Chain A
Amino acid sequence: MIDFELSEGVQNVQRMVHAVAEQMMRPIAREYDEREHEKPWDFLRTMWQVSHANPIGGGERRKDGPAERNLAMCVSIEELSWGDAGLYLSIPNAGLGGAAVAAAGTPEQKERFLSRFSGDEPKWAAMAITEPGCGSDSSAIQTTAVRDGDHWVLNGTKIFCTSGLMAAEKSEGFVVVWATVDRSAGRAGIKAFVVEAGTPGMYVTKVENKLGIRASDTATLVFEDCRVPLANILGSPEVPKTSEGFKGVMATFDATRPIVAASAIGVGRAALDFVKATLAEHGITIRYGASPHTLTALERDVMDMEAQLEAARLLTWRAAWMMDNGMRNNLEASMAKAKAGLAVTLITQKAVELLGPLGYSRQLLLEKWMRDAKINDIFEGTQQINQLIVARRILGYSSKELS
């Protein structure tokens, strides 16, 4: 039966996470935006204590686990991102790298790599896909993995690796690196390798200066004859005749895209909440249902922002709900991501506009939210890549038929 009410369990999680966002994140949000490459260690350690071992997106599905795992994740991440998107992204956990291990790893690999997300010291796991020469077209990866005795030897450069610095150098974490074992095989030759922090031959050469989400590091990782044990490959080392294996890796995105959408929605809600509260302080209420010819431009804008945000949220919840119920959600995950990324980019821009000089000032957080929001229309599949995926699915086209 159609129902939009969060279960009591999820509501409790929501309240708890909201308190964290309000009390721990908001007060330091501006500071770690301005001090881009410094880390809020107190916050990170506290978050580690309360939430380690909780892989973001597509973590191992426990049989006895809650049936609303993905939905609860989306709800939590909306709250955290309402607090601060950059700080949310910097929270130590198994992250995207952990999601890949959980999705494609053997039981031994899961034990080996995921069990470290406990103990006293915070740890991060990152995912390295993008290269200087390829972003959306991840099948064009140039980083190579060559077998040499009982090791894989990695060579290449990865960029835009979220939490790459923390995973590779500042903790006992790991980086999941996408590399090709056979360039002539195209997509089928692409495999994922777990490279543990401190492995010789893996270097962080740069941490990017960004438009937003500045509390989160975005690293360049260089691999020079970086040797990892044979057992560190996720999935089979065989190069299949088809690109099914690659599709398997891409399926990770079905879990992570709703989460990025949820994060976007959190930022959009922060901006919208602020605008509405400011208007209310000045005695302006939004007259829902008032005759169109009496509505002010301001009321129209706010109503449009609200509808856009709610539409994005419902699409996101649906994608997460499908995942929780074992349905394939490739189309719906991309729909949610495309909608949320764009909607929130526009909502935050409008929020800055509506409050005039206040919106533009670094005294408030609005301008920061606008900068933070934009990343959601780019990472984990740009707006255009998600449109492409939606288009292929609704048209029944392969990637050859629609490229």
Chain B
Amino acid sequence: MVNFKPTDEQELIRETMAGFAREVLRRHGREADERNEVPDEVVQRGWELGLVQAAIPEAFGGYGDTRSILTGVLLTEELAYGDAALALHLLAPRLLTIPLIVLGTEAQRARWLPAFAGSEFRAGSAAFVEPRWDFDATALATRAERRGTEYVLSGQKCLVPLARDAEAILVYATAPDGLGAFVVERGSAGLTVGEREKNMGIKALATYPVTLQDVRVPAENRLGGDGADLQRLVDASRVAIAALAVGLSRAAFDYARDYAKERRAFGVAIAQKQAVAFKLANMAIEIDAMRLLAWEAAWKLDRGEAATRESVLAKDYASRTALSITDDAVQVLGGHGYIREHPVELWLRNARGLTTFDGLAIV
């Protein structure tokens, strides 16, 4: 039966995240972007929210909550409303833990999950994107060759969050039998983490290029043992990007709306001019549209149904629309929107990154 109301538990999570986003993430967002770093306070308080620990089974020290992509979407929207870069830093360990929880063998979970259930933030990550203009998520150039009881990984990755500090990185590569994901621990021979990347936006999040030169990992490091169907993970990562897009679009919309009601021109608030009011109306309509597309895809994935089409449509629509909404927000503020005293230019830069990031299986 059709229903648009989240559960009470989801509402509670949403409110908690909204409060944290407002009071902590938004307060630190600008400075973190300027300084390219995440303040310790954000990391510690974010960790205390249990973002990473929640879905880890109790046996491995976590809270044992059932993983729900839809709940993840609700939570991600709220965090991204505060600040997308800080949100991604806090959620980055999930790039490793969520795949392990969903697809890992019992031995894999027991080996790597407990480290992420402690009282301090631990970095974990995943390497998916490759540094080439024609990067193709369906045909990764990074290879995993089977040699006896090992896989040998070779290739180049980029946009790997927190790679320098990560306990382990889940490396996606083309294996002989299709797409595979491999847990590569810190310090593995042949694994090189390069200089921190300098990007246009999402600047507070430390991302790195990673080179894999004949990195040998035991076959049991392959996610799911003999391999697993990663399609649903890839689809969930698309929905996560849509959720980020909704959150940062809503941030830009709220800011532009409030500004337009304050700012006066020709004797009235500029929001009283249809040219501005209609732009804001369309932004509001589109934010709801993209949110509902993300919800529907997440709902379908949670039901265990194939949802590649829905996930692709939600991601493409949301990431494209987020760019136009954040651009509209800059436009509503006019010259002020271009100045770094206001956050809208930051959100425009962050929105641009959403189509570049891929493989963000954080929900």
Residues of A that sit less than 8 Å from B by CB = 1-7, 10, 68, 71, 288-291, 293-294, 303-304, 306-308, 310-312, 314-315, 317-318, 321-322, 332, 335, 338-339, 384, 387-388, 390-392, 394-395, 397, 401-402
The CA of A2 and the CA of B300, in the complex, are separated in Å by 11
A293 touches B134 (CB 8 A): yes
B311 CB contacts on chain A under 8 angstroms: 289
B277 touches A402 (CB 8 A): yes
A339 touches B285 (CB 8 A): yes
- Partner of A391 from the list B5, B277, B292 (CB cut-off 8 Å) is B277
The CA of A181 and the CA of B4, in the complex, are separated in Å by 42
A5 touches B313 (CB 8 A): no
A2 touches B271 (CB 8 A): no
23 of the cross-chain contacts (CB-CB < 8 Å) are: A2-B299, A4-B295, A4-B300, A6-B2, A7-B2, A71-B2, A291-B139, A293-B133, A293-B134, A307-B316, A307-B317, A310-B296, A314-B289, A315-B288, A332-B288, A387-B278, A387-B282, A388-B274, A390-B284, A394-B281, A395-B260, A395-B261, A397-B271
B261 nearest CB across to chain A (Å): 6
A387 CB contacts on chain B under 8 angstroms: 277-278, 281-282
- Partner of A395 from the list B277, B290, B292, B295 (CB cut-off 8 Å) is B277
Query: Of all chain A residues, which has the CB nearest B291?
Result: A314
A402 CB contacts on chain B under 8 angstroms: 271-272, 274, 277
Say what secondary structure dominates the interface of chain A: helix
Residues of B that sit less than 8 Å from A by CB = 1-7, 10, 70, 133-139, 234, 238, 257, 260-261, 271-272, 274, 277-278, 280-282, 284-285, 288-290, 292-293, 295-296, 299-300, 308-309, 311-314, 316-317
The CA of A344 and the CA of B139, in the complex, are separated in Å by 35
A290 CB contacts on chain B under 8 angstroms: 138
Known contacts A388-B277, A402-B271; A294/B313 CB under 8 A:
no
Query: Of all chain B residues, which has the CB nearest A8?
Result: B1
B139 CB contacts on chain A under 8 angstroms: 291
B312 CB contacts on chain A under 8 angstroms: 288-289, 303
A2 touches B308 (CB 8 A): no
B134 nearest CB across to chain A (Å): 5
A307 touches B285 (CB 8 A): no
Query: Of all chain B residues, which has the CB nearest A335?
Result: B285
Known contacts A391-B281, A395-B277; A321/B4 CB under 8 A:
yes
B292 touches A315 (CB 8 A): yes
- Partner of A2 from the list B70, B274, B280, B281 (CB cut-off 8 Å) is B70
Known contacts A3-B299, A7-B2, A288-B308; A338/B137 CB under 8 A:
no
B7 CB contacts on chain A under 8 angstroms: 1-2
Query: Of all chain B residues, which has the CB nearest A287?
Result: B138
B134 CB contacts on chain A under 8 angstroms: 291, 293
B3 touches A3 (CB 8 A): yes
The CA of A304 and the CA of B311, in the complex, are separated in Å by 13
A339 touches B284 (CB 8 A): no
Known contacts A307-B316, A391-B278; A4/B308 CB under 8 A:
no
A401 touches B272 (CB 8 A): yes
B288 touches A4 (CB 8 A): no
B214 nearest CB across to chain A (Å): 26
A311 CB contacts on chain B under 8 angstroms: 289-290, 292-293, 317
The CA of A395 and the CA of B254, in the complex, are separated in Å by 10
The CA of A317 and the CA of B261, in the complex, are separated in Å by 31
A2 touches B5 (CB 8 A): yes
Known contacts A1-B3, A321-B2; A395/B271 CB under 8 A:
yes
B313 touches A310 (CB 8 A): yes
The CA of A293 and the CA of B136, in the complex, are separated in Å by 8
B70 CB contacts on chain A under 8 angstroms: 2
B282 CB contacts on chain A under 8 angstroms: 338, 387
A71 CB contacts on chain B under 8 angstroms: 2
A312 CB contacts on chain B under 8 angstroms: 289
The CA of A7 and the CA of B3, in the complex, are separated in Å by 10
A294, A310, A318, A338 — most chain B CB neighbours (10 Å): A310
